[in-house]
Amino acid sequence: ARRSGGIVINDDWPGYSLDLFNYPAHYSGDLDCVIVPHGVIMDRTERIARNIMDDLGDHDIVVLCVLKGGYQFCADLVDRIKVLSRNSNRSLPMRVHFIRLKSYLNDQSTEDLHILGAEDLSFLTEKNVLIVEAIVGTGKTMQTLLKHVEAFRPKMIKVAGLLVKRVPQNSACLPDYVGFEIPNHFVVGYALDYNEYFRDLNHICVISESGKMKYKI
């Protein structure tokens, strides 16, 4: 059965006021609103873990964590799967591998995508692979990565993406597991950065214009 595209956050949703939550004082003025609070991320992640367990339980999987932005989601997702594995009769043996992609400068996607740590993925051959990504925008990054991984002939590839943006150029390629579908804003927090800042923020927030100016390079 086809899974849902996740929790839909509409374009007219103003987000939560920052005054309603705790966040680091060093980012005051740099954010417009909280778009997904940390607790909601955790609740949705718990359900995605269960969906993954239902689909893949009793298989061996290799989790391919896409750094840097994916580290928090991957860690929390793996953690939830571990909880399910030790509390039920089904288990999901996991290995975790990291690769690093880089394609963004400021808030603009750059044409050249770098894949680091992916030179030799031959250990993926005949394995069930779960790619874990924080965010899918146009889907170009995901497509490039999928092509690269497919070349090593895994038995199966599934993709979990915490966020999918509604962008005009969005390709047909959607993750198998989606946390949230969000408006086309540049978001930060929960390991998502803007020029390496904001990874130390636990909620997913929309960056403000002054925040963009402050950390521009």
- Residues in contact with ligand 5GP by CB under 6 A are 69, 103-104, 109, 133, 135-142, 165, 186-188, 192-194
What is the sign of the dihedral through the CA atoms of 91, 97, 103 and 106?
positive
Strand-by-strand arrangement of the 61-67 sheet: 7-8, 177-182, 156-165, 128-136, 61-67, 94-105, 108-116
Please report, for the chain, how many H helices and E strands are present, in that order.
4, 10
* 108: phi then psi, degrees, rounded to nearest 5: -110, 135
Taking the complex as a whole, the smallest distance from the CB of residue 138 to ligand 5GP amounts, in Å, to 3
Task: Tokens for 112, please give them.
Answer: 């050249």
Taking the complex as a whole, the smallest distance from the CB of residue 20 to ligand 5GP amounts, in Å, to 22
Please identify the residue of the shown chain whose CB is closest to the bound ligand 5GP. Answer: 137
Taking the complex as a whole, the smallest distance from the CB of residue 115 to ligand 5GP amounts, in Å, to 11
Taking the complex as a whole, the smallest distance from the CB of residue 108 to ligand 5GP amounts, in Å, to 10
Taking the complex as a whole, the smallest distance from the CB of residue 121 to ligand 5GP amounts, in Å, to 18
Nearer to ligand 5GP, 127 or 165 (CB): 165
Nearer to ligand 5GP, 91 or 197 (CB): 197
Nearer to ligand 5GP, 38 or 165 (CB): 165
Q: What is the largest CA-CA distance in the chain?
A: 52
Nearer to ligand 5GP, 78 or 180 (CB): 180
Place of tokens 């920052």: 18
Nearer to ligand 5GP, 176 or 193 (CB): 193
CA–CA separation, 126 vs 105, rounded Å? 36
